[in-house]
Amino acid sequence: MSIFDIMKLITTLLFVFICFCLSATAQDKRFKTALSKRTANYDISLVLNTELKEVDAKQQLTFKNPSDDTIWSMPFHMYYNAFKNNKTTFFTEASGIMSRKSQEDIIEGTWSWIKIYEIVDEAGNDLIDSLIYISPDDGNIDDQTVLYLKLKNPVLPYQTYKIDMKWKSRIPKSGIRTGYNRNYYFMVQWFPKLGVYEPAGSRFANKGQWNCHQYHANTEYFGEFGVYNVEMIVPEDYIVAASGFLVKEEERGSQKSYTYLAEDVIDFAWTANPDFIEVVEEWEGIEIKLLVMPEHECNKDRFFKAAKHTLSFFEDYIEKYPYPTLTIVSPPYYGLFSGAMEYPTLFTAPTLCIMPPNIRTTETLTMHELTHQYFMQMLSTNEQEEAWMDEGFTAFFEAKMMDIYYPEGVFFFDYLNINLGSQEFRRGRFFAADNIKIGPMSDFGWKFRHGGHREIVYGKAAIMLKTLEGLVGELCMQDIIQTYFQRWKFNHPCRQDFIDVVNEVVPRYHNKFGNDMNWFLDQAIYGTEECDYSVKSVSNSKLTEKLGFFKNTDNPVLPSEKSAEILYESKAVLYRNGEFIVPQDVKIVFDNGDVIIEFWDGKSRSHDFTYKGNRKIVSVEIDPYMKIPLDKNLINNSYTLKPDATGIWRIFTAFMTWIQGIMVTMSTLV
């Protein structure tokens, strides 16, 4: 045996060993028992053509009928057709998008699409003629984002059904959420994806039905749990990351194939870019992978720290993150169209190399998008119909975590002691909206046609949950979330399921709210009214003794000679200015140091607390423990008869100094 042969043998053995290790690692990452029902499972093999910006794929869908219904049709999301022309529902709703599409692209007709060109069922029936586009939401005939397939053989109750298809797509350039720019590809909502079958009794379904909405500007996606086995063939110099974990990596001439497996997820996302740097860290057995541009690598610790804080928080608060991998994609600046998007086990969180450490958007976005793994991914609510159930919960937890782990705030600056907490920032953004009464949280996302979607589904929902926590207490709130999660994880809960959990848990902790919390949740979820309580006035008037005729007109009661103790009638008058009713704690402080906490059910338009005695009220404060951030004006929640003007002088002197500074600077122009 020559040296060459020995080397060859060693190389072969080494290769076999590496393959074995890889396969063993991949095997280890598979779940021993399924976490979900795995209703819609996909085997996809695709080729990315970076010259033509196209994807050519073959796909096998294995659908398990989750009901005792016989199903005769299947709808598919064809999201890329949202970018097919300027009259799609997406383009019509997002009127600003056209202005972002370059004139050159419009003139050259650079539009995107996805089309199925071959489709057969498991019996070998060619179904290509059974496909039609439908527009269930608005009847728009120019919108082709939902493809309806009429089956030749039905899917029988609880049966498994396979469909094979071949399809092709043109990738949108700098689309919203998905697409490419230069050599960066962010491939999400990219394949013909089956709608969600809702058996009778699940969510809002009275009878078995498909849930498959068109692609709207405001809304993202909703999907069925399943296993995705996806092979991506890309140019050899591209770095790829995807949902799930890598099971196979192969050189294929000038191309490279990556196979990823994602189990018990509702969608599959992937990204490719030759310039990415891959940084991997581990946290309690979870592989955290960061794909970052070289110029953003300096911020890698910020991503990892925030991700680990989030994982740690949820391990304590709800349950440990169950997936073996977590991928954070930090897009290049020209890929910001894909920024801040959440997909199963993979999300994007943009950063900038010029981002100073006292602006914590990198951390906020990491925490926010990672929280979506719980609220929307594991608890798979319908984002299109009830966006507040993922964005609101996520914003609530993001603010909570940011205030715990980054107490300096999301933005802080020593000058003027600026320290902007995450919670107050969320609240501020909501109340600064043009119209906070524009629509109820329960509205479908695309019903917010005149704005307010973000403010309501993020801001109002997060503040509503914070108010709920304030009312019922942190322990009770954690119990609510835990119960909700344990009951509905890897399933599709709707708002009523959450409401039921609240109404089940709260009475175990409190009896002061009645039989249920509907009085609060109905106002918050289905109502549009605002909450505002104020202290109208505080007065202390001397009590006068009885003088004059009372029982008869013969003997008037005259002033008594002895010097009586001065007694006061002290009164605090409170107003309910808004229509939203919440019970309130009221703190009343007296001049002798006494402090009383009163309870007001908050129902009447006005209310007073009156005391008689030798003490005078000094100050009154509604909601002294700041339990109700839903109150739109916290300034008028308190009233004092001994105002301390020091704070006003601070503003006065600072403002005066700034004006003087401007004047002196102006003098240089003279």
Partner 1 sequence: MSIFKALTTGFKLTWKYKRIVVLLYMLTFVLSACIAFPLKNLIEVTVGKSLMIKDLVKGVDYQFFNDFNNTYGLGLIPVFDQSITVLMLFFLLFVFFSGGVISVFINDHPESYKKFFWRKGAHFFFRFCRLAFYFSIIHLSLLGMFFLVFYLSINGEMQNEGTISFALKVISPFYYLAAVLIFMWQDYSKVFLVKSDKTWIFQSMFPALKFIKSNFLKVYGLYLLNMLFWFVLIYLNFRITLLIKFTSGSAILLAFLISQVFVLSRLSLKLINLGSVVDLYSQK
Q: State the residues that interact with partner 1 by CB under 8 A.
A: 182, 293, 295, 332-334, 352-354, 414-421, 424-425, 427-428, 431-432, 619, 621, 632-641, 643-653, 655-657, 659-664, 666-670
Query: Least Å distance between CB 425 and partner 1?
Result: 7
Residue with Cβ nearer partner 1 (271 or 422): 422
Separation in Å, CA 80 to CA 216, 384, 472: 12, 17, 44
Query: Least Å distance between CB 413 and partner 1?
Result: 9
d(CA 492, CA 286): 25
Contacts of 602 (CB under 8 A, 6+ apart): 533, 576, 581, 582, 583, 584
Query: Least Å distance between CB 638 and partner 1?
Result: 4
Residue with Cβ nearer partner 1 (566 or 663): 663
Residue with Cβ nearer partner 1 (413 or 519): 413
Query: Least Å distance between CB 439 and partner 1?
Result: 19
d(CA 466, CA 396): 7
Query: Least Å distance between CB 587 and partner 1?
Result: 10
Neighbour count for residue 112 (Cβ, 10 Å): 22
Contacts of 373 (CB under 8 A, 6+ apart): 321, 323, 326, 342, 344, 345, 347
Query: Least Å distance between CB 606 and partner 1?
Result: 18
d(CA 282, CA 63): 34
Query: Least Å distance between CB 637 and partner 1?
Result: 8
Measured between its terminal Cα atoms, the distance across the chain in Å is 92
Query: Least Å distance between CB 635 and partner 1?
Result: 5
Query: Least Å distance between CB 538 and partner 1?
Result: 8
Query: Least Å distance between CB 551 and partner 1?
Result: 43
Token pair recorded at residue 29 = 């990452």
Q: What string of DSSP letters covers 542-593?
A: EPPPP-B-SS-SSSPBPPPSS-PPP-EEEEEEEEE-SS----EEEEEEETTS
Query: Least Å distance between CB 621 and partner 1?
Result: 6
DSSP state at residue 455: I
206 backbone dihedrals φ, ψ, rounded to 5°: -85, -30
Residue with Cβ nearer partner 1 (38 or 632): 632
d(CA 31, CA 264): 9
Residue with Cβ nearer partner 1 (141 or 418): 418
Query: Least Å distance between CB 646 and partner 1?
Result: 5
Q: What string of DSSP letters covers 459-488?
A: IIHHHHHHHHHHHH-HHHHHHHHHHHHHHH
Residue with Cβ nearer partner 1 (19 or 656): 656
Map residue 217 onto helix, strand or coil. coil
Token pair recorded at residue 377 = 């991914």
Map residue 14 onto helix, strand or coil. helix
Residue with Cβ nearer partner 1 (281 or 297): 297
Residue with Cβ nearer partner 1 (109 or 647): 647
Instruction: Say which amino acid occupies 461.
Output: A
Contacts of 513 (CB under 8 A, 6+ apart): 471, 472, 506, 507, 519, 520, 583
Q: Give the strand pairing for 226-235 and 40-49.
A: parallel
Helices (H), 377-419: 393-405
Q: Give the strand pairing for 346-348 and 325-330.
A: parallel
Residue with Cβ nearer partner 1 (59 or 570): 570
